[in-house]
Amino acid sequence: MFQQTPPELGNQFDDDSVLRSYLNRVLPDEVRGEIEPDLRTMGELAGGELYDLCLEDRLNEPVLINWDAWGERVDRIQVTEVWRRAERIAAEHGLIATAYDQRHGPLSRVHQFALAYLFTPSNDMYSCPLAMTDGATRILLDSGNQELIDRAVPHLTSRDPAQFWTAGQWMTELTGGSDVGLSETVATQDAEGRWRLSGRKWFTSAITSQMALTLGRPVGNGPGGRGLALFYVNTRDEDGRPNHLRVERLKDKLGTRKLPTAELTLEETPAELVMEAANGVRNITPLLNITRLWNSVTAISYMRRGLALAEDYARKRVAFGATLAEKPLHAETMAEQEAEFMAAFHFTFAVVELMGRVEAGTGDETDAQLLRLLTPIVKLLTGKQAMAVVSEVIESFGGAGYVEDTGLPALLRDAQVLPIWEGTTNVLALDTLRALHKVGGLEVFTDRMDALAAPIREPGLAGIARSARTAVNHAERWLFQAMDLGQPAVERGARHFAITLGRAMEAALLAHHAQWSLDHEQDSRAWAAAMRFARHGVDQIVDAIPGEPKME
């Protein structure tokens, strides 16, 4: 009787020609020699033991235990087996420490995010607390608050699982996850001058963390994000009990179900100011910019995982007399997905490089401006690409992709969070406009595109770089026209504008890498991907049509 062989994963570093070719280009030989063994170990774990564990542990979910047997309120979260393993691995492999040890200077971020990219699709979203831990570390280090730095940073960046802490980020309230300035949490000072927070936090991931950064409004402050202040909270008291807070329930979410996301009530929770007693939204944005980059790394890692499984399956699955891999239409469909993934990969890691240079102090003002401008764009675009690619991956398995115990549906459900949390597509499209205003226009962007195009000699690739540049010119013209029409016209087109910039940058980066790969590896795969990506469409600008009727 026929028995289908399931898809399997090999070492996820060795099997990933996109990652390896990229590292060949950006890392000096001695750095690559030092980093590669680390990545290979992570690739082995991710494609082997951890992947198997994720499948075995598929039905387990975290449990909130509010009361102990003797009636004491404990609000303990029992996490899954994968999470317990992931916590150890994260510390031991320096998923946070690598970025802050700065062993490889500006390339430390490439090292860290390459590890995160390999680890994430096999850790049941443990990367969420890691992302927030990374962001909190950055904020504390830049805050100048030496007491908090000394207390928390050695734990957040520890490689010892017994010492390692994660950090939560409690921003979302019932009033909204996007319009954070509406937050209602009140900050008061008690008789000893200690700050205490009272309010409800409506969506807090991950509630297992030892500390959190959160926002509260000091009494007497005005409305909006300026009236909020950024606070540090120890989630547990010295006896391990919840620190004047209640974990009301865990969220019943569409995906990321292994990640304990909770509703909290803060009951005069002791808190410490991280910086000033105002401008909380502005002061927490460095954290958001880091978690947004983690979001993109997660997006490309999910695309890669889906494609790795689909490719293996296509070599095994026989239909209509041949393997799926040999079927021209199947192969072309998957090649188009691979092209989207490759473009998203190069975009994400280009922003990782920028972050590395800015943090290490080796970048210039242009790098800082590009980092600010590209962060919302890369987050919004890769989140959308992940959904589209993972959906095609599911379809490529036929009915098997729709069946839970293959583990495949969870990929799609988890990917759906990527365009939502850390700023929805529309919020980030508007942030792109805000960033553009801050950096003073598109010059930094177009200069970078021109620099990417300069070494390209292969005529097809040069054509791709040129048409990407033309798309950016179109986007710029649209923006000026929309500004003449007024703010609503600008906002209406912001999504198409941001996506066009993003796809143009992806096309330029992919074409640039393709030329390098032709020259140095005699490999034409990135070239083929660039052609497919460009055919899929870069320019998404919709010009205003005079007299066009309204929908409403």
**Smallest distance, ligand MFK to C-beta of residue 429, A:** 10
Q: Which of 243, 295, 337, 348 binds ligand MFK (CB under 6 A)?
A: 295
Pairing of strands 186-189, 167-170: unpaired
Length of the chain: 552
DSSP string, 260-279: --EEEEEEEEEEEESS-SS-
CA dist list (Å): 343 to 70, 338, 390, 504: 56, 9, 15, 10
The C-alpha atoms of residue 364 and residue 361 are separated, in whole angstroms, by: 8
**Smallest distance, ligand MFK to C-beta of residue 329, A:** 34
- Taking CB under 6 A as the rule, does residue 17 contact ligand MFK? no
Q: What is the largest CA-CA distance in the chain?
A: 80
**Secondary structure class of 253 (helix, strand, coil):** coil
Q: Identify which of residues 18 and 299 has a Cβ nearer to ligand MFK in the complex.
A: 299
- Taking CB under 6 A as the rule, does residue 133 contact ligand MFK? no
The C-alpha atoms of residue 312 and residue 299 are separated, in whole angstroms, by: 20
**Secondary structure class of 117 (helix, strand, coil):** helix
Q: Answer yes or no: are the C-beta atoms of 231 and 279 closer than 8 Å.
A: no
The C-alpha atoms of residue 67 and residue 10 are separated, in whole angstroms, by: 43
String marking each residue 370-409 x if it binds ligand MFK according to CB under 6 A: ----------------------------------------
Pick the stretch among 290-298, 319-327, 339-347, 402-410 that binds ligand MFK (CB under 6 A).
290-298
DSSP string, 479-505: HHHHHHH-HHHHHHTHHHHHHHHHHHH
**Secondary structure class of 218 (helix, strand, coil):** strand
Q: Identify which of residues 123 and 515 has a Cβ nearer to ligand MFK in the complex.
A: 123
- Taking CB under 6 A as the rule, does residue 131 contact ligand MFK? yes
Q: Identify which of residues 82 and 334 has a Cβ nearer to ligand MFK in the complex.
A: 82
Within 296-325, which residues bind ligand MFK (CB under 6 A)?
Answer: 298
Pick the stretch among 71-79, 92-100, 165-173, 483-491 that binds ligand MFK (CB under 6 A).
165-173
**Smallest distance, ligand MFK to C-beta of residue 430, A:** 7
- Taking CB under 6 A as the rule, does residue 177 contact ligand MFK? yes
- Taking CB under 6 A as the rule, does residue 224 contact ligand MFK? yes
- Taking CB under 6 A as the rule, does residue 255 contact ligand MFK? no
Strand partners, 172: 203
Query: Count of residues binding ligand MFK (CB under 6 A)?
Result: 29
Amino acid letter for position 14:
D
- Taking CB under 6 A as the rule, does residue 172 contact ligand MFK? yes
Q: Which of 341, 421, 445, 497 binds ligand MFK (CB under 6 A)?
A: 421
> Which residues touch 435 (CB under 8 Å, ≥6 apart)?
372, 373, 375, 376
Q: Identify which of residues 41 and 279 has a Cβ nearer to ligand MFK in the complex.
A: 279
**Secondary structure class of 197 (helix, strand, coil):** strand
φ/ψ of residue 77, rounded to 5: -110, 125
Pick the stretch among 89-97, 167-175, 207-215, 472-480 that binds ligand MFK (CB under 6 A).
167-175
- Taking CB under 6 A as the rule, does residue 132 contact ligand MFK? yes
Residue with tokens 């443990």: 126
Q: Which of 10, 48, 105, 181 binds ligand MFK (CB under 6 A)?
A: 181
Pick the stretch among 10-18, 317-325, 395-403, 423-431 that binds ligand MFK (CB under 6 A).
423-431
The C-alpha atoms of residue 449 and residue 502 are separated, in whole angstroms, by: 11
Structure tokens at 165: 């802490």
Q: Which of 31, 115, 288, 300 binds ligand MFK (CB under 6 A)?
A: 288
Contacting positions for ligand MFK (CB under 6 A): 127-128, 131-132, 169, 171-172, 177-178, 180-181, 205, 224-225, 281-282, 285, 288-289, 291, 294-295, 298, 421-423, 427, 431, 434
